[in-house]
Amino acid sequence: MKPLLLLITLITTLNAASEPYIFTNNDGKTLEDTIIKYDIEKEEVLLENNGRQPLSLFSETDQRYILQWNQLNGFLSTMRFKLTLDKDRWARMKQEQNRTPVYIALDRRPHFDTLIHQTTPLEEYEEYSSIELDAVGFSLKLRNQNFFPLENITVQSKAIYEETLFQTSDSFYESESDLFDEIITEQRVRVREESISMLVPLEEITVHSATAILTEQKLDRTLLTSEEEEEEEDTSSIEGGDWSDHNRDREDDFVGVWFRIGIPDPSGQLTWRHISYPDDLFEELIWDEL
Amino acid sequence: MKNPKRKRQLIGSSAALISLIVHIILLSLAGGIVALRYFNKTPATFEVTEQKKLERRQLDIPVQVEPFMQQMSKPARKTTSRITANAPQMVNIPQQGTYVEMAPMPTFKSSYTNFIQTDRTMIMKSKYRETGYGLSAVDFFGTRGKAEKVLLIVDASPAMVSEDRGGLFAYQTLNEELRLIVDNFRSSTLFNLILHDHDHVAHYQPALVPATAHHKTNLLDWVASINTNVAQLGLNKTEATSIIPTGNYELPVTQTDMTGWLKSAQLATTMQPEIIFFLSGDWGSITDPDTDLSYFARKNKLNQYLDQRLETLLSDEDVAEEWEEMSLELEELVPVTEKMLELENQARFDELLDPKIVAYADEILWENDVDIPDWILLEEPEEVGIYTADTRYTFEEIMQTLFVFTMEIYQERGFPEMNFVLLEKGGSSLNNSAETASLLTSTEKYELLTDMLDARFRIIDAEDPIDNVLDQNIYDIMDMLEEEAEEELL
């Protein structure tokens, strides 16, 4: 349903640009006709009923209308105004470590107000902890293959991803709770907007989306002693109780990126072209609802 | 037909004879034609012409002719163990910074911000600079880098001049080093300095400025005025702290919990330098002076935990009694601490030394081997309702915070270069401790951080620790206090 709607919108936009228009010449005489084509070299406009007419024949307002119509026509052409989307990774970091988990007791010393700590290593356990951070971004190449410049281009993008969060801290005591490995997922939408005042013929410009920051985190506490040994040992409460292995992980999910590129139509309203990753993302989602 | 067989034989013989005769005629004709053609053709003849010999001319200018082999001047053949016949050609690898010269050429086939290359460093460098003239080689306490936009972040907290780091003298040494670093900046290098003291962060200028003589002098004067007086350590809290614009991305660490180098880094990224150098004394907002355990605290949770912990302790009558006793003992130690400090400072004054810098209130008691009552541990920590792990941020949360606020600003330019220097305490013997094994100390955490960022990290030794002039005895002090009290009564 959505693709059909978009197609209708596009056709309507094109039709709107090709609707009959009442032109006025320099002497104030009017003429109702529809533009078929504009020749930038000869500065002639081809009208449906009145054939070729020089641009200078029209009033200044209509000249602007014709040029704007031509620009929109060039903008909407996928051949003459090319869009290429590329996925990129702008930064990536990873840290993993094996360590002895600890329980840190703390208190404030009365009358001195100093914080005191006591660190108890939980030597029965080995903890593997890792974090991987990824800054994913997209670059959009805009290439003007028209014989005329395109002006006042607006590029908006939305990078969408799902961020995951642990519900509890990594406390040993929390590890006994059901919520320890539970995660909350929240959708993040990062918006970026850029304006390009002019794209001259054969010029290629690259604009970028906002970055989607994806995190992957793992925590894996392994009990080093066997169950029999564990039974023999007296595991005091400070050592984290007598629960066995516990682990949890979370991984953010990249949904996609949606670029919309707009240019003012003859009425001054922005007409948009869309490109996304995955290709059908912009057909499935609604821009204003993101 | 009397004899038909004989008749068939005669017919067959005649036919064969006729065929033979026709063939002979045809062959004779063909042979005749060929013979006629061959004999009519004139035979081919070779004409021998005498070729003229070129006369050798005498050279007008005498030239010394060398043998060809000598001209080539080939080296003597050598036998090598190499398998490949040709030696690899020398390749000119550009020095760091030389690409700058070709960086900002405006072309139509370019990105909006000029470059589309796979080499992120090149993109980064090219975007930052217009010319290569401002490129400065920086050696920041042993960590090196080359850039046009440099930001220095220096810890100015009182911990940097603690007694175990050599006191005020430690900062003087750092200042001297900083003076050399700043002096070496080219005038077209853009730079700035951020100082931090826990929550308080102050910048020299709100944006990067050219390293002109004027700015260099002003900056160094500003730094030189800090940590010079024991009565006024750290940053001047009356001065407004720098306002750090917060971004739109969610950070694991809240803005109120962001302190020290992390808070400074957030401010630094808004200025978008190419390289950031950090000089810090500790990792987090809380550092245990005894074990060097360091972490960023969740301040609200921490205060809440401490209050609830006390409440839990006091809810048990027996424990409450024990706690009251401990509290009384500690209360009695307060005047002892003050007296010890007073005497120590008096002794230092007599020896023309700076007064003692107190890192934490009961420090002097430890130094004079005063028995401090043990604190009461909770038998059931979960009774508090808040776990101690909730009162601090994990290393991973700090990493994520740094990555997120940096990449929010830098985006397609990639993560900037960051180098870290840690001013370690003198006489530190923290190896193999529980904190080290669990990667909880400042040193361990910075090592993990720099490993992750692929950054340079250096630990610099502090000056020799300052020892107390006096070796005080608690009983003497208590007697002294009693005498003073009696005198007052009289």
How does pLDDT run across B184-209, given as a tens digit for each residue? 999 889 999 999 998 999 999 999 99
Residue B291 and residue B374 in one domain: no
Distance spanning both ends of chain A, measured CA to CA: 19
Number of CB pairs < 8 Å for A and B?
179
- The mean pLDDT value for B230-234 works out to 83
Residue B318 and residue B365 in one domain: yes
Residue B241 placed within a domain: yes
Q: Specify whether the CB–CB gap between B219 and B193 falls below 8 A.
A: yes
Residue of A nearest to B403 (CA): A133
**Which of A276, A258, A272 has its CA nearest to residue A72?**
A272
Residue B293 and residue B305 in one domain: no
Distant-in-sequence, close-in-space partners of A2: CB < 8 Å, separation ≥ 6 = A283, A284
Q: What is the mean pLDDT of chain A?
A: 86
Q: What is the mean pLDDT of chain B?
A: 80
Q: Specify whether the CB–CB gap between A168 and A174 falls below 8 A.
A: yes
Determine whether the interchain pair B438/A121 forms a contact, defined as Cβ–Cβ distance below 8 Å.
yes
Enumerate residues 41 to 70 of chain B having a beta carbon within 8 A of any beta carbon in chain A: none
Confidence of residue B421 (pLDDT cuts 50, 70, 90): very high
pLDDT tens profile A137-160: 999 999 999 999 999 999 999 999
DSSP secondary structure code for residue B62 in this structure: -
Determine whether the interchain pair B388/A106 forms a contact, defined as Cβ–Cβ distance below 8 Å.
yes
Place of tokens 């010393």: A109
- Return the minimum-mean-pLDDT range out of A235-249, B227-241, B326-340, B437-451: A235-249
Residue B132 and residue B218 in one domain: yes
Q: Specify whether the CB–CB gap between B254 and B120 falls below 8 A.
A: no
Residue B368 and residue B312 in one domain: yes
Indicate if the pLDDT at residue A94 is higher than 80: yes
Q: Rounded to whole angstroms, what are the CA distances from B371 to B352, B361, B474?
A: 30, 15, 9
Which of B375, B430, B453 to probe the A interface (max A CBs under 10 A)?
B375
Residue B187 and residue B290 in one domain: yes
Residue B57 placed within a domain: no
Residue B281 and residue B150 in one domain: yes
Confidence (pLDDT) at A173: 83
- Residues of chain A with C-beta less than 8 angstroms from the C-beta of B112: 194, 196, 205-208
**Chain A interface includes B307 (CB < 8 A):** no
Residue B435 placed within a domain: yes
Q: Specify whether the CB–CB gap between A168 and A180 falls below 8 A.
A: yes
Place of tokens 């989607």: A212
- The mean pLDDT value for B73-90 works out to 43
Q: Looking at the partner chain, which of B110, B116, B400 has a beta carbon nearest the beta carbon of A215?
A: B400
Q: Rounded to whole angstroms, what are the CA distances from A224 to A124, A229, B281, B460?
A: 5, 10, 36, 37
Distance CA A256, CA A266 (A): 32
Q: The CATH number of the domain where B444 resides is what?
A: 3.40.50.410
Give the ranges where B92-203 is alpha helix by DSSP (H).
120-128, 168-183
Which of B330, B388, B392, B415 to probe the A interface (max A CBs under 10 A)?
B388
- Residues of chain A with C-beta less than 8 angstroms from the C-beta of B305: 106
Range of the domain at B368: 300-386+469-489
Residue B292 placed within a domain: yes
Residue B478 and residue B429 in one domain: no
Residue B220 and residue B168 in one domain: yes
Q: Rounded to whole angstroms, what are the CA distances from B88 to A166, B91, B95?
A: 55, 9, 20
Confidence (pLDDT) at A172: 82
Residue B283 placed within a domain: yes
Question: Hey, which bits of A40-80 come out as E strands?
Answer: 44-47, 51-54
Determine whether the interchain pair B109/A204 forms a contact, defined as Cβ–Cβ distance below 8 Å.
yes
Residue B40 placed within a domain: no
Residue B62 placed within a domain: no
Q: How far is A166 from chain B (nearest CA, A)?
A: 11
Indicate if the pLDDT at residue B100 is higher than 70: no
Q: What total of structural domains would you count in chain B?
A: 2
Residue B103 placed within a domain: no
The identity of residue B54, as a single letter, is L
Residue B220 and residue B355 in one domain: no
Determine whether the interchain pair B411/A190 forms a contact, defined as Cβ–Cβ distance below 8 Å.
no
Q: In terms of pLDDT, which residue wins out, A183 or B81?
A: A183
Q: Looking at the partner chain, which of B291, B333, B407 has a beta carbon nearest the beta carbon of A117?
A: B291
Residue B194 and residue B233 in one domain: yes
- The mean pLDDT value for B39-49 works out to 45
Q: How far is A114 from chain B (nearest CA, A)?
A: 7
Determine whether the interchain pair B387/A169 forms a contact, defined as Cβ–Cβ distance below 8 Å.
yes
- Return the minimum-mean-pLDDT range out of A14-18, B3-7, B74-78: B74-78
Determine whether the interchain pair A170/B394 forms a contact, defined as Cβ–Cβ distance below 8 Å.
yes
Distant-in-sequence, close-in-space partners of B99: CB < 8 Å, separation ≥ 6 = B122, B125, B126
**Chain A interface includes B306 (CB < 8 A):** yes
Residue B381 and residue B403 in one domain: no
- Residues of chain A with C-beta less than 8 angstroms from the C-beta of B395: 95, 129
